[in-house]
Chain A
């Protein structure tokens, strides 16, 4: 249980970075932390104490594996995170070219 709580704390640290930091690159890093926290949560959901990695190598009946499905899903979600992060960084560079700054307080042509 303590692991899950620590994981939620990690999630919240990432959220704080996204919300409170003024630098665009730090926001991207904050998003990365959120991404890792969620992935870690997923892997923890399939974890069993004392179980082996889900690799079929020895013909021993009754081996205990951790749940392999979350690991496959996390791999997929890492790929998605890679794509989003690459797009974000490219956009940050574009914004820097237009505005000459990474500071969100000075990037406000739009009034959302």
Chain B
């Protein structure tokens, strides 16, 4: 049964290779095929999440014994990441059924989407540092191509910017892997944790490696000094891809890969923790300040992504159980509501042909479903109590105050308030403002787009209501595997 975890990578890859052949013979039917693939994957990940098989589970490729060969790790953290990835991909794929009718050659789009999914699942599962790098590159290359999918003026420029910075980031990550390999002579992450030199004299080496990794993964995750590509790249992609990029890609190939290395191989030392906290706080503040002046809907959302990723990093870098659980919870919530907001922006653009806030208005009557779903998402990202965003921000802020980080705690509250203001502006300008007749009668988005948005909105509310069981059953075990640190990986060596 546990052989099924290879399907997370093998099935999307299989679909991606099958699509070019299908594209020769069929004109339609790709939607159904991709829908079945993602539906199967989401049920598989849900099964893994709800009915945990003997966790943590170590999968050995080709049956090679542990320090050799390629290994995959399925523990409570990676199963959580798998669930997030497949959830957002499912909704993005459903949304694409109608949205991608604007573009030609749908199978090429689906092919790239499946490569993206395979890469993301691979990063979440790998326990071999070089394999992490390879899946990360698959993800990155697919997302470069997807950002440029429209091949217009802006898309190509944004994609080139993203590609140059992303490739430099990959080079930094590979350099970090090379330095670790030179020191430990192994690529298996468990063995690496064992062979990592400890003690005071190894601090310089650790800081050198950590700097390389933080530069690389920070560029991929768009933490603030490295954020300049994100506000261009994310708005230029087609809407479902913006949702994927903001919702999961920056988290999985940025934050998740970084925290795996920092916690489980290095077992977080105070200097790195302080550095990550500072980066997180900076992204939180700068992102939201830059978002205030934006009048392009998707661009505004992209700046808010930078700000919210700052919350996630702040919470996790704290290193306390509550902080890590809050950070992971915010990771889940942010992928749900930010994807929803990007899908909303996609429907507004689909219906009206523009995403300039100043030209829009009065869409509440014309687009009721888009309106209510975006209301839920906006309140959720702003942290209004019964919805999901409130609980995760609340937990992060409480954790910051508990750890006597009063500065970061008050910064988080301030940023939350500015976020609320910014999203009230969005709601007013797009949906509630009375505009005298410049917009013609616009139609509501097609049915699959509405279904996808409604699904995510309901999920927002449900997570907000049932936050306690989710926290106890999913997030606390997931944070345990990070808190276990180096020793946790060393014990896995024996399995």
CB within 8 Å of B: which residues of A? 11, 15, 18, 24, 27, 31, 34-35, 37-38, 41-42, 45, 67, 69-70, 73, 76-77, 80, 83-84, 87-88, 91-92, 94-95, 98-99, 107-110, 112
Knowing A15-B168, A31-B164, A109-B154, say if A91 contacts B181 (CB, 8 Å): no
Show 18 residue pairs from A and B whose CB-CB distance is below 8 angstroms, ordered by the A residue: A24-B160, A35-B167, A38-B171, A38-B178, A42-B178, A70-B178, A77-B174, A84-B137, A84-B167, A87-B163, A91-B148, A91-B156, A91-B159, A94-B148, A98-B153, A108-B157, A110-B157, A112-B161
Pair B187/A84 contact, Cβ less than 8 Å: no
Q: B239: CB under 8 A from chain A? A: no
Name which of A88, A94, A112 has the most chain B CB atoms within 10 A of its CB: A112
With A84-B141, A88-B163 given, name 6 new contacts (CB 8 A).
A18-B164, A31-B168, A80-B134, A109-B153, A109-B154, A110-B232
Inter-chain contact B137/A95, CB cutoff 8 Å: no
Name the B residues within 8 Å of A31 (CB-CB). Answer: 164, 167-168, 171
Contact indicator B157/A76 (Cβ below 8 Å): no
Q: Which residues does B use to contact A, with CB under 8 Å? A: 130, 133-134, 137, 141, 144-145, 148, 151-154, 156-161, 163-164, 167-168, 170-171, 174-175, 178-179, 181-182, 185, 187, 228-229, 231-232, 236
**Which single residue of chain A is at the shortest CB-CB distance from B166?**
A84
Q: Which of B133, B154, B171 has the most CB of A within 10 A?
A: B171
Chain B residue, CB-CB nearest to A98: B153
By the criterion CB–CB under 8 Å, are A91 and B158 in contact? no
Partner of A87 from the list B141, B178, B181 (CB cut-off 8 Å) is: B141
Q: CA separation between A94 and B148, bound complex, in Å?
A: 10
Closest to B163 in A: A88
- Shortest Cβ distance from A36 into chain B, in angstroms? 10
Chain A residue contacts of B232, Cβ below 8 A: 110, 112
Q: Residues of B contacting A98 with CB < 8 Å?
A: 152-153, 156
Bound complex: CA A99 to CA B160 (Å): 13
Q: In whole angstroms, what is the CA distance A80 to B163 when docked? A: 13
* Complex contact B175–A38 (CB within 8 A): yes
CA distance A67 to B185 in the complex (A): 9
Q: Is the CB of B156 within 8 A of A95?
A: yes
Alpha-carbon separation in the docked complex, A24 to B157 (Å): 11
Q: Known contacts A76-B134, A94-B151; is A45 also within 8 Å of B182 by CB?
A: yes
Residues of chain A within 8 A of B236, CB atoms compared: 110
Per the bound structure, the CA–CA distance linking A11 and B168 in Å amounts to 10
**Complex-state Cα separation, A91 to B148, whole angstroms:** 8
A70-B160 contact given A38-B175, A91-B148, A94-B148, CB 8 Å threshold? no
Contacts of B148 in A (CB 8 A): 91, 94
Separation of A15 and B160 alpha carbons in the complex (Å): 16
6 smallest beta-carbon distances between A and B, as pairs: A45-B182, A42-B178, A112-B232, A110-B232, A98-B153, A94-B156
Residues of B within 8 A of A67 (CB): 185
**Complex: how many Å from CA A37 to CA B137?**
18
A98–B158 Cα distance when bound, in Å, is 13
Cα(A69)–Cα(B161), bound, Å: 33
Residues of B within 8 Å of A99, CB to CB, are: 153
